[in-house]
């Protein structure tokens, strides 16, 4: 902390945005991305900035640091660092402040690290820039910080490309925190990390907060993480703050209809017999933010008064809410009323009922599955051995059932899924058995293999990467049909494609459009439709919702649940999200180091885990903490 500020009264120790306006220059003119935003970050406290993608969270953090992209401008309001007007500082003054007083951690560490410098040198450079330490002292401090974030000694001499995503994120955290900033803006700092590493990083941040009175602005989509960590929640929607409340109040009784909808959309084991309350529609784009409340198209309580003028941000008892329904002290709508209203606006896919069509016979029986990737050496790249990614995996999956496959990165989940859908035939040595309706998938060739491939399809995490951008949606859906069911007449193929688009809730004109014209959630619907085109019995879903906002995730989970009930599909559902597992899975298998270490009913594994690893994994998962009323 700078010496000049040591004696300031505690009340002045804030980083504040006051009525902050940010515009972005586009072909359509200058558009507001952040609108009259006020938030105050106090030393030693955590404010969580939450809301869906496109609500302006990251741009707010960048504005506080004066690091907006070239097309962005702060057009109004103030940023005050302990009373000092940050916007009035020359760029040289701002550079001195960044890193030393205010640190920032981004979601994607790879872009923030220099690929040609060792990790140690990068941390040393940051220390020497901001602290009066040089040479051996700076190196010693860098080593200590790399150790403190849980990196091995050798990391100091490593280059970023030799580290995993999680390790790179820890380097970033060490680099930013080693200069002991007073305020930290952390934009999805743990999103790319496994839950156990996430728990370590969050514990470290908490410790530093206690030691150094770090003021933390935590930008995240993970409401469970927020509920256990934040002191205050700032909810943004379409560039505006719509609710600002102490975390306990926010989670106990969210007041803004958007806050209520987000919390209702979270999957968990208690809601497994009902569709999730998905929020219809999406955040309005920059040019669609017209007068009145910006949430009105999606709000179940919308009324004429919500049209004009923009609802004021009314101060309440420790809470502020931008909604005409809210009056300080008034009782917000009950969760039941909210649920009923939201269900009325949910897409058709969320209204399925009826029990899953499970028949007694196993659909998929995997026994003793092992997958080894070749180790090649020498000029001729001869295979000199194999590294086992999956070893001796066995499980059974029935029609209409979901097996959740959980575990940390590198535990072999995705490799298991890919081996079953025959994606590793060329790259790896696959042994064991995978019987799909009694037929061993690993022994098939030619036409028999093609037919079996149609029966077992896969949906990936990144719906954009898995869709060919040069094909229209209709062509994308037909492509799989042509490859796996070439005997199908063209007319029937087209009819099936049209029916599929309807089935997954795509808009009527979707078939003639390109993948890039769709949102993430709609692209995932296209990927699911593509997998369903060949009428599979088994879907391997590899983290299909982890790149999506919670509201869109709810839509996709509802869709998958409805399809399972209607078509009797079996899902092998790979995920790190225990809430999703609790909501969807009937059985759960826990993987560690390429092996299944625990397998049982979802109820047993999630509530009475027997294996030590399962217990530690579940302990690290953030849970939604709802304080008693």
CA distances from 33 to 312, 549, 551 (A): 18, 19, 21
CB-based contact 602:587 (threshold 8 Å): yes
| Binding status of residue 279 toward ligand SF4 by CB under 6 A | no
Indicate the DSSP class of residue 525. Answer: H
With b for 16 or more beta-carbon neighbours within 10 A and e for fewer, the 386-406 pattern comes to: eebbbbebebebbbbbbbbbb
Q: Residue 312 CB: number of other CB atoms within 10 A?
A: 11
The beta-carbon contacts of 200-204 under 8 Å, at least 24 apart in sequence, are: 200/150, 201/149, 201/169, 201/170, 201/173, 202/229, 204/148, 204/149, 204/173
| Binding status of residue 311 toward ligand SF4 by CB under 6 A | yes
Strands (E), 126-283: 183-187, 215-219, 232-237, 240-246
Measured torsion, CA atoms of residues 484, 485, 490, 496, in degrees rounded to the nearest 10: -90
- Identify the residue among 202, 208, 263, 302 touching ligand SF4 (CB under 6 A): 302
| Binding status of residue 293 toward ligand SF4 by CB under 6 A | yes
Q: Nearest approach, Cβ of 265 to ligand SF4 (angstroms)?
A: 16
By beta-carbon proximity to ligand SF4, the closer residue of 56 and 103 is: 56
By beta-carbon proximity to ligand SF4, the closer residue of 217 and 306 is: 306
* Only segment of 182-190, 279-287, 292-300, 571-579 that touches ligand SF4 (CB under 6 A): 292-300
Report which secondary-structure segment, H or E, holds 398. Answer: strand 382-398
By beta-carbon proximity to ligand SF4, the closer residue of 301 and 611 is: 301
* Only segment of 192-200, 298-306, 484-492, 503-511 that touches ligand SF4 (CB under 6 A): 298-306
| Binding status of residue 497 toward ligand SF4 by CB under 6 A | no
Q: Nearest approach, Cβ of 242 to ligand SF4 (angstroms)?
A: 7
* Only segment of 44-52, 65-73, 299-307, 440-448 that touches ligand SF4 (CB under 6 A): 299-307
| Binding status of residue 323 toward ligand SF4 by CB under 6 A | yes
Q: Nearest approach, Cβ of 327 to ligand SF4 (angstroms)?
A: 12
With b for 16 or more beta-carbon neighbours within 10 A and e for fewer, the 247-262 pattern comes to: bbbbbebbbbbbbbbb
* Only segment of 41-49, 87-95, 322-330, 396-404 that touches ligand SF4 (CB under 6 A): 322-330
- Give φ, ψ of 119 to 5 degrees: -60, -45
Site size for ligand SF4, by CB under 6 A?
12
Q: For residue 138, give every residue at least 6 positions away whose Cβ sits within 8 Å of its Cβ, in sequence order, or none.
A: 124, 127, 128, 131
Residues 247-266 touching ligand SF4, rule: CB under 6 A, are 257
CB-based contact 537:566 (threshold 8 Å): no
| Binding status of residue 166 toward ligand SF4 by CB under 6 A | no
Q: Nearest approach, Cβ of 339 to ligand SF4 (angstroms)?
A: 16
| Binding status of residue 55 toward ligand SF4 by CB under 6 A | no
Candidates 434, 285, 264; CA nearest to 350 is 264
Report which secondary-structure segment, H or E, holds 439. Answer: strand 439-440
Q: Nearest approach, Cβ of 396 to ligand SF4 (angstroms)?
A: 48
By beta-carbon proximity to ligand SF4, the closer residue of 44 and 292 is: 292
| Binding status of residue 34 toward ligand SF4 by CB under 6 A | no
- Identify the residue among 299, 389, 497, 606 touching ligand SF4 (CB under 6 A): 299
| Binding status of residue 579 toward ligand SF4 by CB under 6 A | no
| Binding status of residue 39 toward ligand SF4 by CB under 6 A | no
Coil, strand or helix at 485: coil
- Give CA–CA dist 381/266, Å, rounded: 49
Q: Nearest approach, Cβ of 245 to ligand SF4 (angstroms)?
A: 15
Q: For residue 519, give every residue at least 6 positions away whose Cβ sits within 8 Å of its Cβ, in sequence order, or none.
A: 282, 552
By beta-carbon proximity to ligand SF4, the closer residue of 119 and 323 is: 323
Q: Which parts of this chain interact with ligand SF4 (CB under 6 A)? A: 257, 293, 295-296, 299, 301-302, 306, 311, 323-325
């Amino acid at each position: 902390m700078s010496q000049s500020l040591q004696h300031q009264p505690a009340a002045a120790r804030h980083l504040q945005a006051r009525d902050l306006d940010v515009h972005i220059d586009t072909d359509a003119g200058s558009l507001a991305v952040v609108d009259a935003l006020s938030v105050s970050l106090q030393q030693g406290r955590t404010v969580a900035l939450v809301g869906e993608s496109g609500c302006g969270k990251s741009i707010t953090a960048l504005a506080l640091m004066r690091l907006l992209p070239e097309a962005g401008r702060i057009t109004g309001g103030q940023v005050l660092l302990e009373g000092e007007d940050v916007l009035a500082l020359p760029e040289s003054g701002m550079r001195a402040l960044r890193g030393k007083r205010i640190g920032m951690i981004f979601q994607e560490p790879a872009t923030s690290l220099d690929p040609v410098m060792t990790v140690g040198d990068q941390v040393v450079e940051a220390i020497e820039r901001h602290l009066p330490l040089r040479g051996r002292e700076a190196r010693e401090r860098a080593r200590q910080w790399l150790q403190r974030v849980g990196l091995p000694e050798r990391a100091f001499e490593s280059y970023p490309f030799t580290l995993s995503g999680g390790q790179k994120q820890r380097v970033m955290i060490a680099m930013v925190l080693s200069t002991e900033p007073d305020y930290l803006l952390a934009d999805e700092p743990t999103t790319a990390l496994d839950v156990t590493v996430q728990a370590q990083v969050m514990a470290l941040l908490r410790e530093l907060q206690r030691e150094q009175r770090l003021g933390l602005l935590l930008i995240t989509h993970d409401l469970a993480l927020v509920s256990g960590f934040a002191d205050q929640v700032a909810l943004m929607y379409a560039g505006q703050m719509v609710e600002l409340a102490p975390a306990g109040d926010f989670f106990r009784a969210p007041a803004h209809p958007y806050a209520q909808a987000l919390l209702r959309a979270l999957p968990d084991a208690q809601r497994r017999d009902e569709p999730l309350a998905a929020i219809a529609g999406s955040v309005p784009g920059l040019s669609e933010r017209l007068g009145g409340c910006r949430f009105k198209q999606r709000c179940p309580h919308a009324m004429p008064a919500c049209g004009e003028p923009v609802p004021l941000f009314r101060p309440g008892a420790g809470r502020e809410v931008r909604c005409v329904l809210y009056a300080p002290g008034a009782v917000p709508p009950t969760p039941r009323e909210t649920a009923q209203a939201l269900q009325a606006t949910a897409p058709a896919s969320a209204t399925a009922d009826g029990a899953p069509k499970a028949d007694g016979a196993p659909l998929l029986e995997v026994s003793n599955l092992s997958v080894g990737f070749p180790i090649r050496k020498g000029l001729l790249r001869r295979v000199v051995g194999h590294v086992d990614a999956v070893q001796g995996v066995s499980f059974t999956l029935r029609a209409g059932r979901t097996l959740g496959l959980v575990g940390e990165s590198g535990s072999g989940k995705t490799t298991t899924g890919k081996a079953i859908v025959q994606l590793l035939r060329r790259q790896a040595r696959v042994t064991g058995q995978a019987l799909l309706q009694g037929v061993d998938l690993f022994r098939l060739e030619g036409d028999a293999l093609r037919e079996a491939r149609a029966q077992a399809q896969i949906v990936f995490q990144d719906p954009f990467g898995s869709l060919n951008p040069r094909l229209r949606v209709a062509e994308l859906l037909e492509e799989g049909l042509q490859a796996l069911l070439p005997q199908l007449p063209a007319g029937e193929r087209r009819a099936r494609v049209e029916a599929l688009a309807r089935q997954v809730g795509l808009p009527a004109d979707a078939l003639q459009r390109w993948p890039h014209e769709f949102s993430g959630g709609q692209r995932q619907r296209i990927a699911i439709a593509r997998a369903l085109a060949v009428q599979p019995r088994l879907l391997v879903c590899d983290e299909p919702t982890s790149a999506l906002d919670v509201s869109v995730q709810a839509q996709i989970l509802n869709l998958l649940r409805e399809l399972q009930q209607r078509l009797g599909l079996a899902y092998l559902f790979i995920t790190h999200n225990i809430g999703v597992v609790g909501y969807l899975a009937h059985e759960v298998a826990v993987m560690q180091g390429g092996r299944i270490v625990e397998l049982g009913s979802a109820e047993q594994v999630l509530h009475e885990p027997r294996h030590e690893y399962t217990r530690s994994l579940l302990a690290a998962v953030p849970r939604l903490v709802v304080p008693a009323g």
